[in-house]
């Protein structure tokens, strides 16, 4: 006789499954005994949940290690090598998609360059996002493996040519368009959340970590151990309208000196146009890219931005007091020294103590996007 599972039972099974998968992701193949110890659940519960994960294909049994003493060898389980996660990154001039193993290794990737809306008015928002689904499904068809999730990261205002500075977070819309078109659950979130999860799951940056992403808008993500502390769907984590000490540039919100008005890519673009360094029709995209790709004439603006960031950072760090703050931005060495030097000095002045700040470059946007899918799957591996 089978009994129907209550939502509470399902939640508990998901929690145990989640603990098992996290343990396998961190430590590689493990025997049932060690997994039982790691979860703190009874061995009966752990065995049942492992059996369920074996049936769903999330884990597989691997080669037994020869026993040291007498007795049968224990058969370890490991993450299934043929489960994959897909990352889609939506940017205003390109869609990038990649497929990864559960450990983050890239199996395939594709870059689709096209203006998403500005230069092609026939392409509306829905057909553009649906196009991303097509690209992802085509890529998936050529890769062995079953997806456990599709992660989509996007920044504010990606759908433009629109240089009004207004950030459009159309995250829920994207989720609604993609969900019926994909064969696995879709998780859409902001660029900074994707970067924070990628660092955590695939680059082993553990503990209490604050991540700051500098692009068109400036966002933060706070990871404490395995959990993102700020809300999903791009809510929480924007510091666009905090005031940078000493900054005076008017902001779209009516204040002066906001982070957005002094540090965002749009702010830099406006400043370059104002100072006659760029013709007004230059696309905003010119502000993105690596330090090597930049126009040398714009260097002083980037350096000033680094100083602004350094001035506002200590107040942000004080709010969370993380063990480590990581800046994800395209900065050269001079900018990094200006930013970190200013931030560390000011933090010491305010608190009398030191803090840790580090910088990491961004290597693959779709990989960060795929980490959103991995995290969503790890949180609910047996479904709802
Ligand atoms: Zn503002």
* pLDDT for 161: 38
Distance 244 CA to ligand 1 centre (A): 10
Distance 241 CA to ligand 1 centre (A): 4
The average confidence (pLDDT) of the chain is 88
Distance 239 CA to ligand 1 centre (A): 9
* pLDDT for 235: 60
Distance 249 CA to ligand 1 centre (A): 10
Distance 216 CA to ligand 1 centre (A): 14
Distance 214 CA to ligand 1 centre (A): 16
Phi and psi, residue 154, nearest 5°: -150, 150
Distance 42 CA to ligand 1 centre (A): 53
**Sign of dihedral through CA atoms 182, 200, 330, 234?**
positive
Distance 116 CA to ligand 1 centre (A): 27
pLDDT in tens, 119-133: 455 556 788 889 899
Distance 250 CA to ligand 1 centre (A): 8
Distance 199 CA to ligand 1 centre (A): 29
DSSP 38: H
Distance 172 CA to ligand 1 centre (A): 24
Distance 166 CA to ligand 1 centre (A): 11
Distance 228 CA to ligand 1 centre (A): 25
Distance 81 CA to ligand 1 centre (A): 47
Domains annotated for the chain, with CATH where assigned, are 7-79 (1.10.10.10), 83-203+365-379 (3.30.420.40)
* pLDDT for 375: 96
Contacts of 265 (CB under 8 A, 6+ apart): 215, 216, 284, 287, 288
Distance 365 CA to ligand 1 centre (A): 27
Distance 308 CA to ligand 1 centre (A): 14
Closest CA to 310 of 331, 294, 293: 331
Distance 257 CA to ligand 1 centre (A): 7
What are the mean pLDDT values of the chain's consecutive 10-residue runs (384 residues total)?
Answer: 74 94 94 93 94 95 74 86 95 88 97 62 72 95 96 67 45 90 94 94 94 87 88 69 93 92 88 91 77 86 95 95 94 95 96 95 94 96 87
Q: What is the helix (H) or strand (E) element at residue 110, kind and residue range?
A: strand 106-113
Going from the C-alpha of 72 to that of each of 42, 64, 69, 117, 217, the distances in angstroms are 21, 9, 9, 62, 58
* Structure tokens, 194: 């994707």
Distance 236 CA to ligand 1 centre (A): 16
Distance 333 CA to ligand 1 centre (A): 28
Distance 311 CA to ligand 1 centre (A): 16
* pLDDT for 158: 45
Angle between helices 32-39 and 43-56 (to 10 degrees): 110
Distance 253 CA to ligand 1 centre (A): 4
What is the model's pTM? Answer: 0.90
């Amino acid at each position: 006789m089978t009994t129907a599972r209550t939502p509470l039972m399902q939640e508990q099974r998901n929690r145990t499954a989640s603990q098992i998968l996290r343990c396998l992701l961190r430590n590689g193949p493990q025997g049932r005994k060690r997994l039982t110890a790691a979860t703190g659940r009874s061995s009966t519960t752990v065995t049942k949940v492992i059996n369920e994960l074996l049936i769903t294909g999330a884990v597989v049994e691997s080669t037994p290690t020869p026993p040291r003493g007498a007795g049968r060898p224990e058969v370890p389980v490991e993450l299934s090598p043929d489960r994959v996660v897909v990352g889609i990154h939506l940017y205003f001039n390109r869609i990038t998609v990649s497929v990864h193993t559960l450990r983050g290794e890239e199996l395939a990737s594709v870059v689709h360059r096209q203006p998403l809306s500005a230069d092609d008015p026939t392409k509306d928002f829905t057909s553009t996002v649906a196009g991303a689904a097509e690209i992802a499904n085509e890529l998936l068809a050529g890769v062995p493996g079953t997806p456990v999730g599709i992660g989509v990261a996007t920044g504010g205002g990606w759908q433009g040519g629109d240089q009004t500075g207004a950030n459009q977070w159309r995250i829920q819309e994207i989720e609604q368009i993609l969900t019926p078109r994909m064969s696995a659950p879709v998780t859409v979130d902001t660029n900074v959340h994707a970067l924070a999860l990628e660092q955590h799951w695939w680059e082993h940056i553990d503990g209490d970590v604050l991540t700051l992403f500098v692009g068109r808008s400036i966002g933060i993500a706070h990871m404490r151990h395995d959990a993102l502390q700020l809300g999903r769907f791009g809510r929480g984590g924007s510091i666009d309208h905090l005031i940078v000490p000493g900054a005076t540039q008017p902001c779209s919100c009516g204040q002066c000196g906001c982070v957005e008005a002094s540090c965002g890519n749009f702010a830099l673009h406006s400043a370059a146009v104002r100072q006659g360094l760029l013709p007004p029709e230059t696309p905003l995209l010119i502000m993105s890219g690596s330090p090597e790709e930049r126009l040398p004439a714009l260097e002083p603006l980037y350096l000033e931005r680094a100083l602004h960031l350094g001035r506002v950072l200590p107040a942000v760090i004080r709010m969370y007091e993380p063990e480590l703050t990581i800046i994800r931005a395209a900065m050269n060495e001079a900018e990094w020294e200006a930013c970190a030097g200013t931030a560390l000095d000011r933090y010491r002045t305010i608190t009398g103590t030191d803090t840790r700040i580090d910088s990491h470059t961004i290597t693959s946007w779709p990989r960060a996007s795929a980490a959103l899918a991995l995290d969503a799957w790890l949180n609910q591996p047996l479904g709802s």
